[in-house]
Amino acid sequence: MWLIVGIIIAVLCFAVLGYSANDKRWKLRGRQIVALLPVLLVFGDLVAIVPANNVGVIFSPFGGVKSETLSEGFHFKGLFDTVYNITTEVQSKSLTELSSQTKDSQYISMAIDIKYRVIPESASKVFDQFRTMAKVDAVLISPAVQRTVEIVTTKYNIMEILGEKRNTIYTEIEKELETTFAKSGISFYSVTFVDTDAGDSIEAAIQNEAVAKKAVQTAEQERQKAEIEAQTKLIVAKAEADANKILTQAITPELLAKMEMDARLKWGWVTVQAGNVIADVGDTSSKTE
């Protein structure tokens, strides 16, 4: 409709600019090119350009924010509609002064870096709530992170937060932020815990506790090592005793006699009598009687 109106205005301007009061006649004149401006202006307002990594959100003064969005590229739009570009690139927000209380009434401060992005399909929802990415940071990201940290840290005491439960707490914060962001059309990307501080006295207590635990672990390792060595010695002694027992049981009078005979055959003169035969073993000659 507005394009047709622009064309009508352009035609009227073209006709008027072709008439000259001096020569009282109408003809083609160079100034008539100005008549194309209404068409160009109207046509320009009918085109929207959405840059890369952006989503175009359409706002109408008559109907508000439209649910449909525009992808990257050129698009036609209504003359009175305004297209706002919402970036879908990953955004980063650093929060360096997050303070919270723990289960045992201690105070802890955190420095956190949050990364997030607008869900393309929810760009109109994000625009309707916040209008700009700066307001997303101020109205959603910062308060949500502070509230989440407070909720999670109050479940644990200070030693758990800075010690053995640290990874568990970080995981809980991530999951809570992911759920909170999704409700507003924001996709949680990642969180980095830059620093966690509870004051010098608490840090010193935790360090002393760690040293004490290390000493206990070392002592336990030494005890286990000594116990293993003692058990090994018992096993070896038992094995030797069992071997000696088996050997003792295996030595019979007949075996001893044979062993004695073998020794005499090897080292001395032995007379062996078998029937009427006497032989001097150990000499190169033999006698028969």
Q: Give pLDDT tens digits along the chain (289 positions).
A: 666 666 777 777 767 766 666 666 676 666 667 666 666 666 666 788 899 999 999 998 888 898 888 999 988 887 778 899 999 999 999 998 888 888 888 888 889 999 999 999 999 999 999 999 999 999 999 999 999 999 999 999 888 888 788 889 899 999 999 999 999 999 999 988 888 777 665 666 666 666 566 667 777 777 788 888 888 888 888 877 777 777 676 667 776 677 777 777 776 644 444 444 444 444 444 444 3
List, as own/partner pairs, every contact residues 33-42 make where C-beta atoms lie below 8 angstroms and the sequence separation is at least 24, other chains included: 35/10, 35/11, 36/10, 37/10, 38/6, 38/9, 38/10, 38/13, 39/3, 39/6, 39/7, 39/10, 41/6, 42/2, 42/3, 42/5, 42/6, 42/79
d(CA 149, CA 158): 13
- Regarding beta strands 73-76 and 107-118, do their DSSP bridges make them parallel or antiparallel, or are they unpaired? unpaired
The token duo for 188 is 């949680």
- Given this structure, which CATH class describes domain 91-198? alpha beta
To the question of pTM greater than 0.75 for the whole model, the response is: no
Minimal CA–CA distance to 58: which of 76, 92, 20, 84?
84
Helices (H) and strands (E) in the chain — how many of each?
Answer: 9, 12
pLDDT at 62: 85
The token duo for 44 is 């320009």
